[in-house]
Amino acid sequence: MKELKVGALRARLCGGVDREGGGSGPVVVLMHGYGAPGTDLVPLWRELEVSRDVRFVFPEAPLDLGFGGRAWWPIDMSRLQDRFTTSAADRLSAEVPPGVDDARAAVLELLAVLRRDFSAAPETMVIGGFSQGAMLATDTVLRSQHPFGGLAVLSGTLISRLEWLPLMPARRGLPVLQSHGRADAVLPFAIAEQLRDALSGAGLPVEFIPFNGGHGIPPAVLDGLARLIQRVPLPIQP
């Protein structure tokens, strides 16, 4: 595993021909969730049944919450206590989180370095994450002009609704993997369904994997993520 420092972000590179992100294979960027350490998703690269050429990048969120936890932007946990009421769910999906712009800028800076120094063309990249990381991945893909190879939304949700919805049609045809637990006690399943319907309605092919569990990544989701990665076109060799 190799570490890379880009601006406010530190990232860990795995996989590829040298197991440290080397080579020219597709690149999968996965961002962890709120309160998790930067290494939280790193073990996944060994569990996914994909080509050995696939490279994985695991960025670490810039905000230190203490005790090893990190965040992409601050969350007022007290405001989430009633998130399962209809009015609270509507507020959650409409909110543009303070700090999301800075987080997205940091991720885009990392992606630029991956393009420049690691020959990672956008069309051969899958951008994704878990929970808050999935929200950031969605925000980054929708607001970027780059033609990414896929989007992975693992237990994420719909935010910035009035800003996201008009951006979705420009991503028509982009493959999406979305997963969510029916018993998720952190982010309501119903809002995940709203995100799925919005993406599908805008012409993005969504493989939606619901599961009978909570806020997590079960084996069926890893299988779906592997399928998404396998669909990414191989880089064009010079």
Q: Which phi and psi angles does 127 have, rounded to 5°?
A: -105, 130
Convert the pLDDT of each residue in 118-149 to its tens digit.
989 999 999 999 999 999 999 999 999 999 99
pLDDT band at 28, cuts 50/70/90? very high
Gap between the Cα atoms of 129 and 152, Å rounded: 6
Least confident of 1-10, 21-30, 80-89, 106-115: 80-89
Task: Extract the runs of DSSP E, i.e. beta strands, from the chain.
Answer: 2-6, 9-16, 20-22, 27-31, 55-60, 63-66, 69-71, 125-130, 150-154, 176-181, 206-211
| pLDDT of 84 higher than 70 | no
Report whether 72 contacts 40 (CB < 8 A).
no
* Residues 79, 72, 139, 215, Cα dihedral to 10°: -60
Cβ neighbors of 174 (< 8 A, separation 6 or more) are 141, 148, 150, 151, 204, 205
Convert the pLDDT of each residue in 195-220 to its tens digit.
999 999 999 999 999 999 999 999 99
What whole-number percentage of the chain has pLDDT above 70?
92
SS3 84: coil
Q: Which CATH superfamily is domain 2-75+83-231 in?
A: Alpha/Beta hydrolase fold, catalytic domain (3.40.50.1820)
Predicted confidence at residue 227, as pLDDT, reads: 96
Predicted confidence at residue 183, as pLDDT, reads: 95
Predicted confidence at residue 43, as pLDDT, reads: 95
How open is the CA angle 40-51-221, to the nearest 5 degrees? 45
Predicted confidence at residue 93, as pLDDT, reads: 85
Report whether 151 contacts 138 (CB < 8 A).
yes
pLDDT band at 109, cuts 50/70/90? very high
Gap between the Cα atoms of 74 and 72, Å rounded: 7
Cβ neighbors of 72 (< 8 A, separation 6 or more) are 31, 34, 61, 62, 63, 99, 100, 103, 132, 133, 135, 136
Predicted confidence at residue 85, as pLDDT, reads: 62
DSSP class of residue 154 equals E
Predicted confidence at residue 83, as pLDDT, reads: 59
Gap between the Cα atoms of 146 and 143, Å rounded: 9
Predicted confidence at residue 195, as pLDDT, reads: 97
Least confident of 86-90, 189-193, 208-212: 86-90
Write down the domain spans for the chain: 2-75+83-231
Q: How far is CA 117 from CA 78, 111, 157, in A?
A: 42, 10, 32
Q: What integer best gives the mean pLDDT of the chain?
A: 91
| pLDDT of 62 higher than 90 | yes
pTM, whole model, 2 decimals? 0.94
